[in-house]
Structure 1
Amino acid sequence: MPVRVVEGAIQHYAWGDPDFIPKLLGVAGRGQPWAELWLGTHPNGPTLLEDGSPLSDLTGKLPYLLKVLSAREPLSLQAHPTTEQAIEGHARGVFDDDQAKPELLVALTEFEALCGFRPYGSTIDYLRRLGADQFADFVQEHGEDSLADLYRGAFDATATITGLESVEDRQARWAWTLGEKYGHNDPSVAATLLLNYVTLQPGQALHLTAGNLHAYLRGSGIELMNASDNVVRGGLTVKEVNVDLLLEVVDLAPLREPIMKVTDGRYPLPEAGVQLIHLAPGDSHTAAGHELAIALDGTTLYLSPGTPVFADSHTYVVTPL
């Protein structure tokens, strides 16, 4: 079977950039926020074949979901459940899907994000450098309980966040900006100072496992994840939040190396049994399974097993590990 062009589903979430995805696809954005382009068989955004029939008619249910994400404004502070938590939560109607949502993101532009907890000693040193000594004392006393105790009202972050207004530090500037939008005393705003702040350059990536507390701040990238839409939000959003559930699923262990190590243009997502590979113009690849691809000339493709493809432009393909 030849390579088949497919049509992904667009998600117009409020935080989306109005230009990046329309420009990628060569269509008019019409002033709307274009947050995500989905490729896969998830019912919240199924991919279609050229004749309008669902991709799942050919592939069945795919175990992964491929996206382009483009954020003009920060996303919510969130985490995703483990498989066991997803199964249990799905059974009682808490989660839409019965599986975890590990994900990786490969930057297509400069991309800013908060992800995983900084080691607590490093956070205390960082806060003292900012002049946020009261918050540093709180973290020193509460350690891994800092997040939960923030949400339980044990620390009023107002003075900490307002005190960052003139601080020349990128993470601090984001905290102050979020405080202006959501309230200087919002626990989620203070929580952003506990996390690793990263700026990815194109080609660099994040691998976010279950429980990783994170918030994407700005930029565009390719995402690969399990075919799950389970999200638990703690704040920094007008959408529904569930702090108690967030505290159940969050992984408090420090993440010492948030930026993923990449070898030969391959980005593994072992939890889903697949990887994202980068093909430069002129590279070739033969599909080993039901594979989806996004080319940066705007082409979105389905490759059946055994199908060869030759990249005319930079292309990202999902293939089995």
Structure 2
Amino acid sequence: MKPLTSVIRPYAWGSRSAIAEIQGRTAPADGPEAELWIGAHPADPSRVAGTGLDELLAAEPDRLLGPAVVERFGPRLPYLMKILAADAPLSLQAHPTLEHARARFAAGHGGYVDANHKPELLVALTPFDALCGFADPAVAADRLDGLGIAELAGVTAALRTGPGGPREAVRTLLTWPVEGRAGLVKAAVAAGTAPLVAELARFYPEDTGVLVALLLNHVRLEPGQAIWMPAGNLHAYLRGTGIEIMAASDNVLRGGMTPKRVDVDELLEVLRFEPLDEPLHPAAELAEGVRAWPVPVPDFLLHQVVPGARTVTLDVPGPRIVLAVGGAVRADDGQGVVEIAPGTAAFAGADAGPLRLSGPGAAFVAATGV
């Protein structure tokens, strides 16, 4: 086991207390702490004794990643794990398919920084609010009708016309004339029928993306519940702390609720508009204190192990990262033993043995699905 030192990203929407409290540091921190990146992404790799994990893996890919992972993904770690702590809403966003990302990146499209997809899974550590996937169009139309705003009649009519309705509704709202956006949002808040819009408008009073929120599923996760965001899923994290795991990519297409680059046309290209009837992604209970969240991509697989008074053996192949939360975790991969402090992580290479985990904390174990 190799202890990892990981970087915290200070995005403005981040909490000043959540990650500090998980790690047992003084809270609040001096500034926002949004994401703790745990992995080998070249933008902010975790480090082993001062050396980037990405460098170590590139130097010995067959030993540390394993031949199967190298054959499938090349000499790189295909996943990135994070602790994400949001005190304010993130952008309305989606991610491309692998094929779309490869084509756009090869063509030099400015919105693509790599040739990879970015499916994501988030497991809540605290109560966590999110928007995830499209609601039934008729339900969305009723929500907009409830605002009593005549200018939205065309949007609600589109939602009731057929399969193309949600696309047209999103396009209309996100390309609303700039001079009319603040007035539209103000009228929606004044209607008093959509508390979600009123809350989002506190942060984005001139952004009609807050009305797109009414087209989506508003999910409240309890600790231990998860949501899965495949390619084309329109989503936004609103508030809370969770463990996020994803394919190691930075390809994000935003449509609103952000000061960052917005590309509505490209977002519409990648979105999947069919309703998502059940946003929650169930866990598979594998054994006492052991569960996993299977996903239909090979880039990653996330387990949670709660050892309690026992030592639990988790035999998953390939490169693994163990993150401790809620208490320390003792991890033994047959090559070394590490006491992992809360909010920190350790790496086990593909050449190491099964993981033996014990201690008072919970372990989130990232691996590949290969």
Name the TM-score, length of structure 1 as normaliser: 0.89
Whole-angstrom distance in 1 between the partners of 2:366 and 2:29: 30
Instruction: From the superposition, tell whether residues 6 and 317 of structure 1 become closer, same or farther in structure 2 (CA, over 3 Å).
Output: same
Worse overlay, 11-20 or 236-245:
236-245
Alignment of 1:86-235 (within 5 A): 86-91=101-106, 92-94=108-110, 95-129=112-146, 135=152, 138-142=155-159, 143-144=165-166, 145-153=168-176, 158-159=183-184, 162-165=187-190, 167=192, 172-184=194-206, 186-235=207-256
Cα distance in 2 for residues equivalent to 1:311 and 1:165: 54
Equivalent residue letter for 1:77 = L
SS of structure 1 residue aligned to 2:284: coil
Counterpart of 1:246 in 2: which secondary structure? helix
Letter in 1 for 2:214: L
CA pair 287-6 structure 1, distance change in 2 beyond 3 A: farther
Taking the aligned partners of 2:209 and 2:266, their CA distance within structure 1 comes to 14
Whole-Å Cα distance in 2 between the matches of residues 163 and 65 of structure 1?
38
1:272 Cα deviation from its structure 2 partner: 3.2
Q: Residue 314 of structure 2: which of 282, 285, 292 is its match?
A: 285
- CA–CA distance in structure 1, aligned partners of residues 101 and 347 of structure 2: 29
Output aligned runs, 1:258-273, within 5 Å: 258-264=279-285, 265-273=291-299
Does the C-alpha gap of structure 1 residues 6 and 180 become closer, same or farther in structure 2, counting only changes over 3 Å? closer
Return the alpha-carbon distance in structure 2 between the equivalents of residues 217 and 237 of structure 1: 12
Residue 65 of structure 1 and its aligned partner are, at CA, apart by: 0.7
1:243 matched to 2:264: yes
Give the equivalent residue in structure 2 for 1:34: 33
> Are 1:132 and 1:160, in contact at CA under 8 Å, matched by a contact in 2?
no
Partner AA of 1:311 in structure 2: S
- 2:365 is equivalent to residue 300 of structure 1: no
Contact 2:15–2:85 (CA under 8 A) maintained in structure 1: yes
Q: 1: CA distance between counterparts of 2:19 and 2:190?
A: 33
Q: Secondary structure at the match of 2:170?
A: helix
> Deviation of residue 137 (structure 1)?
5.9
Distance, in Å, in 2 between the alignment partners of 1:129 and 1:17 is 33
Distance across 2 between alignment mates of 1:287 and 1:5:
19
Deviation at 1:190, TM superposition (A): 1.2
TM-score computed with the length of structure 2 as normaliser: 0.78
Cα RMSD for the two superposed structures:
2.3
Q: Could you tell me which of 19, 22, 33 is aligned with 1:21?
A: 19
Distance 1:320 1:181, change over 3 A: closer
Which of 306-315 and 71-80 deviates more?
306-315
Which residue number in structure 2 is paired with residue 276 of structure 1?
Answer: 302
Mapped partners of 1:5, 1:284: distance in 2: 19
Secondary structure, counterpart of 1:269 in structure 2: coil
* Deviates most, 142-151 or 64-73: 142-151
Identity of aligned residues (%): 39
**Conserved 8 A contact 1:77-1:188:** yes
What's the counterpart of residue 71 of structure 1? 86
Amino acid at match of 2:301: Q
d(CA) in 2 for partners of 1:151, 1:79: 14
Deviation at 1:194, TM superposition (A): 0.6
Q: Secondary structure of the residue that 2:85 maps to in structure 1? A: strand
Deviations 1:49-85 (A, max 9, x none): 1x21122314441011111100011101111111122
Whole-angstrom CA distance in 1 between matches of 2:80 and 2:150: 43
Which segments of 5 or more consecutive residues in structure 1 lack a partner in the other structure?
Answer: none
What is the CA–CA distance in structure 1 between the aligned matches of 2:44 and 2:116, rounded to whole Å?
17
Equivalent pair of 2:247/2:299 in contact (CA under 8 Å): no
Structure 2 spans left out of the alignment, 5+ residues: 58-63, 65-74, 160-164, 286-290, 326-341
Q: Compare 204-213 and 286-295 and name the one that shifted more.
A: 286-295
